[in-house]
Structures are given as structure tokens and as C-alpha cells.
């Protein structure tokens, strides 16, 4: 383009725009500015605060409607979506047990608190398969395994428990549970 062509284009544009009026402000929409990014220190502090959880003592675990369990009854539970092959390996004892909690001699309240602390600790240490030994001794009153019944009930309520089952005989049998945990 030459300079003369450039001047002609400018003149044509001015003629075309001669009667044009600017839009009034009330017809115009001003888009909001994007929020400013938070400083990294603020972002990390907020994230840390959100991830902190108060220590869980097991008080939130329900003790209502506990199904009585026979001392010799084998248990099996898994959350929806857990692969059958993973549960099958758990049941057969093929997953290595990374930690163990023995509840022999514990009272119900002590056992509840110990289970919650144990599961939290295991999850913080990225353990995926643990063993909880409740024993199978029936209570003298009704020939039911009271502690075993409570443990069964509590583990179903813990969101970090993906699955659990009675251990194979070589690992404790009906008095012991193998527990599969969520990764943190």
C-alpha cells in the first residue's frame, strides 16, 4: 500500500463513521476483572488449615443398633466400587499385613478410641492393609461376641475403611479382621 492509498482509506473510514454516536454507558456491560491470585504463602496456609482435622476419638461412631455376632461367624464387608479381586486377595490373606492392633482385654470405649487412633495413624503412614484382633470370646450373658460385634459395626462407619474381612485361620481366624484402608 502506498501513502496515497492509506490516506484514501482513512478518508473513506471518516465518511462512513460521520453520523455514528458512541454507546451510552448504561447499555454497556463491563466484565468483572479476574480475581487476583493469592500469594503462595496465603494459599498454602489456607490449604493446611483445610486439611487439618480435629483428632478423632471415636465419639462420632454410633453404638446404636449393633447386630450381635456369633463368636465363630466370619465377617466380610466392602464399600461399593472396590474390586472383587482386591477383596478376594484380602480374604485369602495374600495382602501383607503392615500393622496390627490387639484389643484383647479392652473395654468397649477403650477399643473404640484405640481403633480410631490406629486407623488414623495407619492412614497417615500410608499403610493399606492392617489387622485388628478383637478375639471371639462370647460375653457370659448372651453367648455373643460383644467386642467383635462393636468392631464390625464401627469399621463400617469409618470412611477410611474400604473393606474388611475375617482373617484366614493362619492369621487369627474368626477372632481377627484384615482391614483394607484408603490411601490418604
Please give the tally of structural domains in the chain.
1
| Residue 109 falls inside a structural domain | yes
Range of the domain at 102: 76-181
The CATH number covering residue 131 comes to 3.30.1370.110
Instruction: Give the C-alpha separation, 147 to 169, whole Å.
Output: 19
45 belongs to a structural domain: no
Q: Is 15 a member of any domain?
A: no
* Residue 133, in any domain of the structure: yes
* Helix (H) or strand (E) segment spanning residue 111: helix 108-124
- Does residue 121 sit within a domain? yes
pLDDT single digits (tens) 113-149? 999 999 999 999 999 999 999 887 665 555 566 889 9
- Is 6 a domain residue? no
How confident is the model at residue 66, as a pLDDT?
82
pLDDT in tens, 63-111: 677 888 888 889 999 999 999 999 999 999 999 999 999 999 899 889 9
Q: Is 7 among the domain residues? A: no
Reported in sequence order, the residue ranges of the chain that DSSP labels E, i.e. its strands, are 76-78, 99-102, 129-133, 161-166, 176-181
Cell numbers that stand for 10 in this block? 482513512
The reply to whether 103 falls in a domain is: yes
Separation between Cα atoms, residue 158 and residue 48, nearest integer Å: 23
Q: Per DSSP, what are the bridge partners of residue 76?
A: 165
Amino acid at each position: 500500500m502506498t501513502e496515497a492509498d492509506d490516506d484514501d482509506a482513512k478518508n473513506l473510514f471518516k465518511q462512513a463513521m460521520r453520523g455514528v454516536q458512541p454507546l451510552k454507558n448504561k447499555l454497556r456491560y463491563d466484565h468483572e476483572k479476574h480475581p487476583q491470585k493469592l500469594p503462595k504463602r496465603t494459599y498454602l496456609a489456607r490449604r493446611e488449615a483445610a486439611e487439618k482435622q480435629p483428632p478423632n476419638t471415636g465419639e462420632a461412631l454410633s453404638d446404636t443398633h449393633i447386630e450381635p455376632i456369633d463368636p465363630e461367624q466370619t465377617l466380610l464387608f466392602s464399600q461399593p466400587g472396590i474390586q472383587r479381586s482386591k477383596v478376594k486377595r484380602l480374604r485369602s490373606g495374600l495382602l501383607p499385613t503392615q500393622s496390627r492392633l490387639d484389643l484383647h482385654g479392652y473395654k468397649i470405649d477403650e477399643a473404640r478410641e484405640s481403633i480410631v487412633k490406629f486407623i488414623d495413624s495407619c492412614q497417615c503412614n500410608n499403610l493399606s492393609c492392617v489387622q485388628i484382633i478383637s478375639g471371639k470370646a462370647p460375653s457370659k450373658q448372651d453367648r455373643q461376641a460383644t467386642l467383635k460385634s462393636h468392631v464390625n459395626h464401627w469399621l463400617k462407619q469409618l470412611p477410611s475403611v474400604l473393606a474388611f474381612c475375617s482373617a484366614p485361620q493362619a492369621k487369627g481366624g474368626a477372632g481377627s479382621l484384615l482391614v483394607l484402608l484408603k490411601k490418604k
